[in-house]
Amino acid sequence: MDNFVSVIFCSNCGSRYVEIREGRRGTEFYCRTCQVSETVSNFTLGHCRVTNTELQGARDSRGVSGGRKK
Ligand SMILES: [Zn+2]
């Protein structure tokens, strides 16, 4: 059975190394590659292992403003 998850990418640099951390203004997303951060309040992250093929598929279909790219 397939499981579908959402993957967070950094929109600044495209990195997949996005973490949740406690920042000065509360919980925030944080990019380990380029160090950008942004406050979030209603989301968190889970980790799982996926193949490079699956990860690339997620990159190719990442959401854009107003909807999803094909
Ligand atoms: Zn980044």
User: Which residues keep their CB under 5 angstroms from ion ligand 1?
Assistant: 10, 12-13, 15, 31, 33-34
Beta bridge partners of 26: 23
Going by the DSSP 8-state scheme, the letter that residue 24 receives in this structure is T
Nearest of 16, 66, 51 to residue 29 by alpha carbon = 16
pLDDT tens, position by position, 5-54: 888 999 999 999 999 999 888 899 999 999 999 999 999 989 889 899 98
pLDDT at 65: 57
69: CA distance to ligand 1 center in Å? 20
- For 27-68, the DSSP string reads EEEEETTT--EEE-SS---------HHHHHHHHHT-EETTEE
Q: How far is the CA of 19 from the centre of ligand 1 (A)?
A: 11
Per domain, the residue ranges of the chain are 1-61
